[in-house]
Structure 1
Amino acid sequence: MQNSAEYKFDLKEIPKEQRPREKLIKYGPDVLKNGELMAVILNTGYRGETVLELSHRIIKEYGSKAIVQEKNVGRLMENLGIPLVKACQIVACFELGRRFFKEEPGRFPTIRSPEDAYRYLEGMKKLKKEQFRGLYLNTRNKIIHDEIVSIGTLTANLVHPREVFQPAIEYLAAGIIIAHNHPSGDPDPSEDDLKVTRQMTKVGKTMAIEVLDHIIIGNERYVSLKDKELM
């Protein structure tokens, strides 16, 4: 159980004209920024951060696309330094949204080239931590699922094939595009990047689920290992 003494701020302590909840009631959700909407969900701050400060930090550090896809409560707690109840609120909120809009037409694009994949993943260039993602495609190269596989420095030990291919089995994917960012800004592949790529490609051949590409994202450019003939 969380210690209530750690929750030092709530929405009522913010000046009335700045309160996200009051803005939501008066103007509707369209006028609220992402951080303000997150503040309505979280309701209180934590350990010296106001709820707005906490909300903006969560989105900035994790990335808006990444946090929408995150399903692991423990990982969210560890990476953001937030308590269990807040991690649960975030995961439950976005899971509900995913379920409501799972069948929404056009929600996921068709990937015809490395450039298409980069456009979809471009937001990763702003992330402060290295993140490994899997894009799961059907036979028409349309994304049917997008999952964060791991967060942290990419190594063959950190990224296990089981975690990459389990969603492919679950969603009946025909192919996978793996991707990760380099917070340093330089997308040139490291030896670990190449090792992980070879490992995933080998497992994909065994399972008849093709690893179509590995996209590495830097600040202003990206590298496709398929284009570079490195896989």
Structure 2
Amino acid sequence: MTEIPGDQRPRERLLALGPQALTDTELLAVLLRNGKVGASALDVSAKLLAEQGGLQRLANARPEELARMAGVGTVKAASLVAAFHLASRAREPVEPASDLHEAGEIAAVARPLFFGARTERLVVLVADARDRLRYRIVLAEGCIDQVPLPLREILNVVLRQDGRGFALAHNHPSGDPEPSWQDKRSSQVLMDAAATLGLRFLDHVVLAGEQWASAVTGATNR
């Protein structure tokens, strides 16, 4: 950005005036840091916003989509995705440990981790002895209509976090939360495996937007 006066560059404006004084294009330019041959970071940011159709759609873009754009690449794409997801997590209210007694509570706790997901994503919720949330993590991500259920990795996460119980949640991008027969069968296998380790398997909830259904009990909010 050598052609832009020093005090007018996005980073310097942010430090002097605060982020609220910057446009979306300028804030993106700060994250990108530099542009490409013949185009500044501001130019690349403006084109990125235009091609993605605005900030909200950009926030939901996948890393590989962003990386294909000239001047972005894999490193900058990863930085953008990380920034948007941090912003999403920062909006979550700070509350006492959430209860995981029922499928609806599990769905509510897991839902923020599906922000922007356009493929199936598997979330593990680790609980304490009173079935309250200790830890949550996105453990796996699959294609548009399936996600692997890695039994060993799931149990390892629970044990590493000193959990006493756990629940699973995954999403159906199709919009239908009805659990498949594979969801139900793998849930039973996981329940049996957890019991051998003295762990409580609380539930496996499938989400589709605001709707959810349990692959274990059959409970649903549809």
TM-score bracket relative to the smaller structure = 0.5 to 0.7
After TM superposition, the structure 1 = structure 2 runs for residues 42-57 of structure 1, keeping only pairs within 5 Å, are 42-44=32-34, 50-51=44-45, 53=48, 56=55
Verify: 1:138 aligned to 2:132, yes or no.
Answer: no
Which of the residues 112, 119, 122 maps onto 2:108?
A: 119
Verify: 1:192 aligned to 2:182, yes or no.
Answer: yes
Q: Provide the secondary structure at the position in 2 that maps to 1:211.
A: strand
Q: Distance in 2 between matches of 1:107 and 1:36?
A: 37
1:14-38 CA-partner distances (Å, limit 9, x unpaired): xx99x86466435535788999867
Aligned-residue offset at 1:92: 8.7
Query: Which amino acid counterpart does residue 116 of structure 1 have in structure 2?
Result: E
Larger C-alpha radius of gyration, 1 or 2? 2
Query: Which amino acid counterpart does residue 60 of structure 1 have in structure 2?
Result: N
Could you tell me whether the CA contact under 8 Å between 1:35 and 1:59 is conserved in 2? no
Uncovered stretches (5+) of structure 1, i.e. residues with no partner: 1-9, 63-76
Could you tell me whether the CA contact under 8 Å between 2:121 and 2:141 is conserved in 1? yes
Aligned-residue offset at 1:111: 2.6
Aligned-residue offset at 1:39: 5.8
Q: Distance in 1 between matches of 2:65 and 2:155?
A: 24
Q: Provide the secondary structure at the position in 1 that maps to 2:205.
A: strand
1:10-63 CA-partner distances (Å, limit 9, x unpaired): 8x99xx99x8646643553578899986764443569x993473795663146x
After TM superposition, the structure 1 = structure 2 runs for residues 51-200 of structure 1, keeping only pairs within 5 Å, are 51=45, 53=48, 56=55, 59-61=59-61, 81=67, 83-86=73-76, 89=79, 106=95, 108-123=97-112, 124=114, 127-153=117-143, 158-200=148-190
Could you tell me whether the CA contact under 8 Å between 2:101 and 2:131 is conserved in 1? yes
1:59-117 CA-partner distances (Å, limit 9, x unpaired): 3146xxxxxxxxxxxxxx668757553477579989xx8xxx9xxx7475333322222
Q: Distance in 2 between matches of 1:35 and 1:186?
A: 36
Aligned-residue offset at 1:175: 0.9
Q: Distance in 1 between matches of 2:79 and 2:116?
A: 24
Could you tell me whether the CA contact under 8 Å between 1:109 and 1:143 is conserved in 2? yes
Q: Distance in 2 between matches of 1:137 and 1:147?
A: 12
Instruction: Give the number of equivalent residue pairs.
Output: 193
Uncovered stretches (5+) of structure 2, i.e. residues with no partner: none
Aligned-residue offset at 1:165: 1.4
Aligned to 2:213: 223
In structure 2, the CA distance between the partners of 1:88 and 1:128, relative to structure 1 (3 Å rule), is closer
Q: Provide the secondary structure at the position in 1 that maps to 2:60.
A: helix
When normalised by structure 2's length, the TM-score is 0.64
Q: Distance in 2 between matches of 1:39 and 1:45?
A: 8
Q: Distance in 2 between matches of 1:171 and 1:189?
A: 27
Superposition CA RMSD, Å? 4.3
Could you tell me whether the CA contact under 8 Å between 2:128 and 2:165 is conserved in 1? yes
Aligned-residue offset at 1:162: 1.7
When normalised by structure 1's length, the TM-score is 0.62
Identity of aligned residues (%): 26
Could you tell me whether the CA contact under 8 Å between 1:155 and 1:192 is conserved in 2? no
